[in-house]
Amino acid sequence: MRAILCALLCIPTALLAQQEPDTPVISMDVSRVALFATVREGKARFISDLEQKHFTVLEDGVAQKILSFSREDVPVAIGLLVDNSQSMMNKRAEVVAAAKAFVAASKPQDEMFVIHFNDKLTYGLPQTLPFTGDRDLLGAALDKMNLDGKTALYDAIHEGLKHLGNSKLTKKALIVLSDGGDNMSVNKAEGVVKEADLSGALFYGIGIYDPMDGDANPGVLRKLAQNTGGEAYFPKELADVKGLCETIARDLRNQYLLSYAPQQRSTGSDYHRIQVKVKDPQNRKLIIRTRTGYFESGRSGEKAPKR
């Protein structure tokens, strides 16, 4: 796949089950479910004047009582995954600039890290510094590109999710910058899609593909975005990636947070569908994005139903 991929994962759940450091976060405590929701009018304008009474949350078709509601700019744990495969040679400047633009749009309170990936995965920050909000340190980490080899994209996503689990921040995000499809990973596409779904993470994808590239798989990005409440973009020009990364950064800063306690269920399924509706008093044509469901803790063996 000849592509520029910017994938963002953020964890919009409360009370996630604590995992051992070497185990990916794949389930949540469902005594309370928290949802980060983005509301827009059209594709660009964020809507920030809604109140709790304008929202309805349904789980498996049953209306839920909203227990808390807010719209606050909270700190985010963010991973930046940068493709270092040899095919990035002519794209290095644009990709680093896009990643640095995202860093510039972040806040000092955010916890960020960098992973470079090709055949291998390498952390950009010192081993003693798992996260930082220092822009200079993050800029230096992004500059450590060593272009060589193939693309272990799915392994990088798996490692990024695992590292994000070490942060105590509730809101988490993963950005992947790549120009190629996976041709080297041990992990498979289906596995990372399910891992992201189970984690409660928002996923944003930006992909610019060469139509002749047989490795291209935009369906993976679309599925990750659809399942988790994120969004997938497919611009035609490499120059657009920087602006889209800045858009994603603004998206993370303009979200509503809703929580509810699931009612007692009659279904035996471990997967529960979520739907959030907005009744706008101004009758605007609003678009709302949030995750579409979640798995219960300890019951992740069943597959999510097809959407």
For the entire predicted model, the pTM comes to 0.79
Output the pLDDT for position 30.
53
Output the pLDDT for position 200.
66
List pLDDT tens digits, range 125-160: 999 999 999 999 999 999 999 999 998 988 998 899
Q: How many CB atoms lie under 10 A from the CB of residue 272?
A: 18
List pLDDT tens digits, range 204-220: 777 777 666 667 778 77
Is residue 21 scored above 60 in pLDDT? no
Output the pLDDT for position 155.
93
Contact 21, 260 (CB under 8 A): no
Among 143-157, 189-203, 274-288, which stretch is predicted with the lowest mean pLDDT?
A: 189-203
Q: How far is the CA of 107 from the CAs of 74, 90, 219, in angstroms?
A: 9, 30, 32
Is residue 22 scored above 60 in pLDDT? no
Mean confidence (pLDDT) of the chain = 81
Cβ-count burial 175-203 (b if 16+ within 10 Å, e if not) = bbbbbbbbebbebebeebbbbbbbbbbbb
Q: How far is the CA of 132 from the CAs of 6, 75, 203, in angstroms?
A: 20, 12, 22
